[in-house]
Amino acid sequence: MIIVITGASKGIGKAIATQFAVEGNIILLCSRGEKSLYDTVAELQTNHPLCTIKGKAVDMSVKEQVLDFAEWCLKQGTPDIVVNNAGQFIPGTIQHETEGILEQMMETNLYSAYYLTKALLPAMTAAAKGHIFNICSIASLNAYANGGSYSISKFALLGFSKNLREELKPLGIKVTAVMPGATLSASWDGFDIDPTRIMEVNDVAIMIYAASKLSPMAVVEDIVLRPQLGDL
C-alpha cells in the first residue's frame, strides 16, 4: 500500500508511520522541519528494511507547497491511505489573540488537509478505494478555555471530514475523523504534565491502524480518545 502522512517527523505522525512500516508499505512523509524529517525517514528505513520510506520537506500552511507535495506523492502511485496530521497548536482567547492567528490556524490545520485531499482525490476516485484520516481534536467537539482560533480551526476540520464522508461514501473511499484528547506530542512541549494524565502517541496510531483494517463494507467514522482520567 501507499500511505501518505503529513506532519510526520515526530509525535503522532511518526507513530502512525511506524505502525504502518511493520507491513512493508510505501510510506510518503512530509514535515516542515527538514532535519527531523530526514532523521525519521532514515530511522524508519533502517528499522523496517522491507518498507520504502520517502520524505519531502513541506510547509503545509502554504498552498503551493501542498500542491507540489501532492504531485510528488502521485508520482509514486495512487495513495491507499492519507493521514492529514499536519497541524499547529497556539492557545489563546479570541479577544486577545494577536493579529493573524486565526489565518495561521486555518491555513495549517484546515487548508493543508483540504488542498492535499482535493489534489489526491482524482486518482483515488479513479481507483474507487482508499481511506482518509483527518486528525482533528477533542477541541473539534467542545469549546474550552484558551482554545481560541485553534479550536475554531479544529471544529472546521471536523466539518470538512463530515462533508467529505458524505461526498465520498458512494465512491468507495472511507473518511475517518480522529479526535484525540491530550497526547504526549510536541503540542505539549514546555508544559509540566503528569505522564499518567496524558495519552501516548502510540494510542492514536494503534486506533488508526485498526480502523484501516476493516472490510470494504465498514468504516469507523469517528475516533474519540481521551486520557483515562479525563481531559486536561
**Segment-wise mean pLDDT, segments of 10 residues, the chain, 232 residues:** 96 96 94 95 96 97 98 98 96 94 97 98 98 97 93 98 98 97 75 82 97 98 95 83
- Residue 197's pLDDT is 85
Q: How many Cβ atoms are within 10 Å of 59's Cβ, its own excluded?
A: 17
- Residue 191's pLDDT is 66
CA angle 156–159–161, rounded 5-degree value: 115
- Please write down the long-range contacts of 195-199, taking CB distance under 8 Å and 24 or more positions apart: 196/229, 197/227, 197/229, 197/232, 198/227, 198/232, 199/225, 199/226, 199/227
- Residue 190's pLDDT is 63
Q: Which of 111, 115, 150, 209 is labelled catalytic?
A: 150
CATH number of 2-225: 3.40.50.720
- Residue 231's pLDDT is 87
- Residue 158's pLDDT is 98
Report which DSSP code applies to 51: S
- Residue 195's pLDDT is 80
- Residue 24's pLDDT is 86
Least Cα distance to 70 among 21, 13, 130, 4 occurs for 4
For 175, list phi and psi in degrees, rounded to 5: -135, 130
Told to judge if 150 belongs to the known catalytic residues of this protein, a careful annotator would answer yes
- Residue 188's pLDDT is 61
